[in-house]
Amino acid sequence: MSAPLTKPAPLPEELAAPERTGRRGSALVQRLVVVRELGIVAALVLLVVATVVANPRFLSGQNVRDLLLSAAILTVLAAGQTMVIITRNVDLSVGSVLGLSAYASGTLMVVTPGTPVVVVVLAGMAVGAVCGLLNGAIVAVAGVPSLVVTLGTLYAFRGLDSLWASSADRLQINAADLPGGFKALGTARLLGVPVLFLVAVVVVLVVGYYLRTFRSGRELYGIGSAPEAARLSGIPVGRRVLTAFVVNGALAGLAGVLYAARFQTLDTTAGTGQELFVVAAAVVGGVAIFGGSGSVYGAALGALLLTTIGTALPQLGLDPFWRDAAVGGLILAAIALDRALQLRLAARLRGRNARRDR
């Protein structure tokens, strides 16, 4: 720090300065976020190009559609998780919520075969929202760290799923049990694009718009940056965090319905272990694990990249066993990159302030 030890009385110009620096600083941050997201796009393009060179059929219609279908579920989960992580929380229970919601919506269709698809979707989201409400209530009201709470509900929701399945004596729901209208959803296309993927795109756009534009959306960032400062400045921290958990739960519920539509075979293991891929997608997409920064678009790109790696590796002649290792390496690279960018940004802002002070 090159700041002088004895500071002269602030001149009017200097008093106004911090605001100006703030605005210029935030423009810098904004540019960095764009650069960060372009980085993922570049990685994605590079991966796709390399794979296409190795195997031109990689970009065949069916292959791309399969890829988008797989990415859709992870993207919806990542969108919800981003909201939670931005508030400096985490929801590890989403895999179990997905499983519970998938099983619930499957059961609904088996028990009452005539249920319209819209009702099934809403029911799945409602199941998820209730799970999210429980998570959020414990976190916000009891003031217990979300990592612990959602680790607990990861087990509890999964156990509930198993309990339900074993007591209803319906351990597996097969494609034959599901109505045709619902199964069509899994394969339906609009202008050649799978409908499930379009659902994910809509979710990302809505969440992205909310986080960027709405006051309460901006407050989520404030809470994640400095929870205590957010509370002191009058943000209803508990209510906002609760909302983030409920929305995330509802989206995990939606992901459960998408899962049911895509795979059409449901047992109580659906979504097991997904929580790690979801958090990984967000982290790769530049969402800071300790809150306060990142965007849902980045997380969605992260989800797309992780899914693409899974499908591209075999095409590149690599053993599919390399997938998890590649995902792990990518996470480490992403957080190391974020750290480097953050340090550079801090140095730049400091340099700018120091120059101004002189």
Partner 1 sequence: MTVETPPAPAPAAAAPARRGPTLPSGSVITTFLVLFLVVAAFSVEGFASTRNAGFLLLDVVVIALIALPLTLVVVTGEIDLSVASTVGLCSAVMGQLWVAGLPLEAIVPLVLVLGGVLGAVNGFLVTRLGLPSLAVTIGTLALYRGLAFVVLGDQAVADFPRAWTTWAISSIGSTGIPTVVVPLLVLVAVTAVVLHATPIGRSLYAMGNSEDAARFSGIDVARTKLWLFVVTGVVSALGGVYWTLRYGSARADNATGLELQVIAAILLGGVSIFGGSGGLLGVIAGALLLASVRNALQLVNVPSDVLNIVTGVLLITAVVAPQVAARVKGRRRRAPA
Instruction: Name the residue nearer to partner 1 (CB basis): 210 or 221.
Output: 221
Q: To 5 degrees, how large is the angle CA 133–CA 137–CA 143?
A: 150
Site for partner 1 in 314-343 (CB under 8 A): 319, 321-332, 335-336, 339
279 binds partner 1 (CB under 8 A): yes
What's the gap between Cα 322 and its chain centre? 23
Among 353, 316, 51, 85, smallest CA distance to 207 is for 85
Nearer to partner 1, 52 or 318 (CB): 318
Closest approach of partner 1 to the CB of residue 309, in Å: 11
Query: Who's near 80: CB < 8 A, 6+ residues apart?
Result: 91, 94, 207, 247, 248, 249, 250, 251, 252
Helix axes 237-263, 117-142, angle to 10 degrees: 150
Answer for which of 103, 157, 182, 297 binds partner 1 (CB under 8 A) is 157
Helices vs strands, H then E, count in the chain: 13, 4
Which residues, numbered 237-256, are part of the site for partner 1 (CB under 8 A)?
Answer: none
Q: Does 268 bind partner 1 (CB under 8 A)?
A: yes
Closest to partner 1 by CB, 195 vs 270, is 270
Residue 289 contacts partner 1 per CB under 8 A: yes
> Shortest distance, CB of residue 278 to partner 1, whole angstroms?
10
Stretch of residues binding partner 1 (CB under 8 A), selected from 75-83, 101-109, 139-147, 203-211? 139-147
Q: By CB under 8 A, which span of 13-21, 69-77, 110-118, 148-156 interacts with partner 1? A: 148-156
Which lies closer to partner 1 via its Cβ, residue 16 or residue 343?
A: 343
Nearer to partner 1 by Cβ, of 43 and 195: the residue is 43
Distance CA 43, CA 53 (A): 15
Phi-psi label, residue 10: left if phi above 0, alpha if psi -120 to 50, beta otherwise: beta
State phi, psi for 263 to the nearest 5 degrees: -95, -30
As measured in angstroms, the least distance from the Cβ of 167 to partner 1 is 9
Q: Which is nearer to partner 1, 149 or 247 (CB)?
A: 149
Least Cα distance to 150 among 83, 95, 101 occurs for 95
- Sole binder of partner 1 in the list 35, 155, 181, 184 (CB under 8 A): 155
Q: Pick from 48, 52, 122, 276: which binds partner 1 (CB under 8 A)?
A: 276
- Indicate the pairing of strand 189-190 with strand 193-194: antiparallel
CB 224 within 8 A of CB 86: yes
- Considering the complex, state which of residue 121 and residue 280 has its C-beta at the smaller distance from partner 1: 280
Interface with partner 1 (CB under 8 A): 138, 142-145, 147-149, 151-160, 162-163, 166, 268, 273, 276, 279-280, 283, 289-290, 319, 321-332, 335-336, 339
